[in-house]
Amino acid sequence: LKTQGSSAGERRRRRRRRRRRRRRRRRRRRRRRRRRRRRRRRRRRRRRRRRRRRSRRRRRRRRSRRRRRGGRGRKSLFTFCPRR
């Protein structure tokens, strides 16, 4: 029984070494080709257009809400102290 467990562990180690060498070579080639094609044609054009439109609308709405809430809360706290 003990010999079976040790033999299984040795087989797993041999398989992992072979797979790691093959995966590293394939990943390097695929990553370089995918990044160059997508960034030049698809990613840069779509992201720049969407970010400019969304950022302007979201920033104006968030700033207006934050300033109104902060102004009301600060005025109420300062006015209570001197009146008392």
Q: Using DSSP, state whether 6 is helix, strand or coil.
A: helix
Domain ranges across the chain: 1-84
pTM value > 0.85: no
Q: Provide CB contacts within 8 A for 64, sequence distance 6+.
A: none
Q: What is the pLDDT of residues 29-44, one digit of tens each?
A: 777 777 777 777 777 7
Q: Report the pLDDT value the prediction gives residue 79, as an integer from 0 to 100.
A: 63
49-81 pLDDT tens trace? 777 766 666 666 666 555 555 555 555 566 666
